[in-house]
Amino acid sequence: MEGDVAQLLDFNKGVSLAVANLWMVFKHKVRAGQINNVQLLGCLDYVLWQTSKDGQRFS
């Protein structure tokens, strides 16, 4: 049980870091005009979908 909780916390920390890193890249590209809002929403939607899909392994 404790191993599962530790694994879940590690997984959540990894996802949080990945999302934070992606967000930094997106903000930079949006400011530079390289990504428009539709692309940004599409990418965030994909990230959230991947995250929720991966998260189901632990439930």
Q: Domain containing 51: what range?
A: 2-58
Q: Tens of pLDDT along 6-59?
A: 777 788 788 888 888 888 887 887 788 777 777 777 877 887 777 776 655 444
Residue 58: DSSP 8-state: G
Return the exposure string of 4-33: e unless at least 16 CB atoms fall within 10 Å of the residue's CB, then b: eeeeeeeeeeebeeeeeeeeeebeeeeeee
pTM: 0.42
Count of structural domains, the chain:
1
